Chain A
Amino acid sequence: MNTRLKTLSKGIIDVSPLMIPVFPFGIIYGVIGMDLGIGPYMTLALSIIIFGGASQIVLLQLFSGGASSLVILSSVGAVNSRHLLYGAVLSEHLSTLKLTWKIILSYVMVDQAFAVSNTYLKKNFKDKNKHYHLLGAGFTCWTIWQISTILGIVLGSVVPEELGLSFTISLTFLALLINDFRKFKNIIVMLVSGIVATIGYNLIPFKAYIIVSALTALGVATLLTLTELKKR
């Protein structure tokens, strides 16, 4: 087999197990999009244009709460700030690629693709076709995300409102944090964020509660990191 195709398939295979939780998340997203009444085309358009579960949900939640565009954009930006880290970590592997490659790979660099491809790229530092791994992993995520969104859109038109599916937003994000439950510092950061958001929901103007609580919690995270480093 052609080495590029081989690397591409390796990316697809490596990321596949991580698609198991992504699939129901995509369905939930599609159902919620329909539930909030933005219609099937916009629900799908968000998945294609934004292609980021957390960003899409934040956009929907703030939009339905009547937030302004500026608040929505800054909150989406905050949710996405972790990608700066991913980009920086991967940059040394991708710096020699053409601009078109960088654009395509950036579009598909989601959490799951980053996780598996970062490991692969480190191990296969010298292989000049190693970026095909990220392409395979990224487009697997993309395909699964679009299919599950469409399924959610179809289901969203038949699921009764009484099932309280909006609660699944909270549950889904809660589930994404399970690896943080065992770390004491992360629990502190999570509580700060959640409590500031709950109190600030009505008090902070312009529905800016997500960005305000995120920044407060990141401030606490910074303090915790600095005190930890000082101790060493």
Chain B
Amino acid sequence: MHWSLIVYCGVITFLTRFTMIFALKKDIFNDRTKKILSYVPAAIFPAIIFPPIFLDNSGYLDLESNPKILAAILAIITGYFSKNIIATIFAGLISYWFLIFFYF
């Protein structure tokens, strides 16, 4: 990885935080825009979550012998009921380890 790429990513991240604070005197976004922007995590994070779970190392869809799907479902159930971030991560990780050591 080249250092310039890291710096550019740093600059972009900084600018998204700085621009509005620098340019605005008060909030200009209407409720509709705010509502749409509130969907940003839901719109982006699954794009990071899904491919490593559903695709194998060569990029093919793997729905049959795939412990990650089952582990992710257990994590979702845990998250739904506990609303606890750490519990969700550990439920997924521990069930994943259990599955790969005993079943797959």
By a beta-carbon cutoff of 8 Å, the part of chain A in contact with chain B is: 20-21, 24, 38, 42, 45-46, 49-52, 54-55, 57-59, 61, 63, 69, 72-73, 76-92, 94-95, 99, 102-103, 105-107, 109, 163-164, 166-182, 186, 189-198, 201-202, 209-210, 213-214, 217-218, 220-222, 225-226, 228-229
Listed by A's residue number, 24 A-B pairs whose Cβ atoms lie within 8 Å are A20-B85, A38-B1, A59-B5, A84-B16, A85-B34, A85-B40, A87-B19, A88-B20, A92-B26, A92-B27, A106-B14, A171-B92, A175-B85, A177-B45, A178-B84, A181-B80, A189-B42, A193-B42, A194-B49, A209-B51, A210-B44, A210-B48, A214-B44, A225-B32
Which chain B residues lie closer than 8 Å to A228 at the CB level?
35
Closest chain B residue, CB of each to CB of A182 = B80
How near does chain A come to B99, taking the closest CB pair, in angstroms? 10
In whole angstroms, how far apart are the Cα atoms of A78 and B93 in the complex? 28
Which chain A residues lie closer than 8 Å to B43 at the CB level?
189-190, 192-193, 213-214, 217-218, 220-221
Name B8-42 residues within 8 Å CB distance of A.
8-10, 12-14, 16-29, 32, 34-42
Closest chain A residue, CB of each to CB of B60 = A202
How near does chain A come to B11, taking the closest CB pair, in angstroms? 9
Which chain A residues lie closer than 8 Å to B46 at the CB level?
177, 190-191, 193-194, 197, 213, 217
Q: In the bound complex, do residue B75 and residue A175 qualify as a contact, i.e. CB atoms below 8 Å apart?
A: yes
Please give the number of chain B residues whose Cβ is less than 8 angstroms from any Cβ of chain A in the complex: 68
In whole angstroms, how far apart are the Cα atoms of A177 and B25 in the complex? 31
- A72's partner among B9, B21, B47, B48 (CB-CB below 8 A) is B9
In whole angstroms, how far apart are the Cα atoms of A57 and B9 in the complex? 12
How near does chain A come to B40, taking the closest CB pair, in angstroms? 4
Total inter-chain residue pairs, C-beta < 8 Å: 267
In whole angstroms, how far apart are the Cα atoms of A222 and B72 in the complex? 28
Q: In the bound complex, do residue A69 and residue B8 qualify as a contact, i.e. CB atoms below 8 Å apart?
A: yes
Closest chain B residue, CB of each to CB of A89 = B27
- B12's partner among A21, A77, A171, A194 (CB-CB below 8 A) is A77
Kindly name the residue among A58, A99, A166 whose own CB sees the greatest number of chain B CB atoms within 10 A. A58
Which chain B residues lie closer than 8 Å to A21 at the CB level?
85-86
In whole angstroms, how far apart are the Cα atoms of A181 and B8 in the complex? 34
Q: In the bound complex, do residue B18 and residue A102 qualify as a contact, i.e. CB atoms below 8 Å apart?
A: yes
Q: In the bound complex, do residue A61 and residue B12 qualify as a contact, i.e. CB atoms below 8 Å apart?
A: no
Q: In the bound complex, do residue B45 and residue A186 qualify as a contact, i.e. CB atoms below 8 Å apart?
A: no
How near does chain B come to A135, taking the closest CB pair, in angstroms? 13
Q: In the bound complex, do residue A91 and residue B27 qualify as a contact, i.e. CB atoms below 8 Å apart?
A: yes
Kindly name the residue among B8, B43, B72 whose own CB sees the greatest number of chain A CB atoms within 10 A. B43
How near does chain B come to A62, taking the closest CB pair, in angstroms? 10
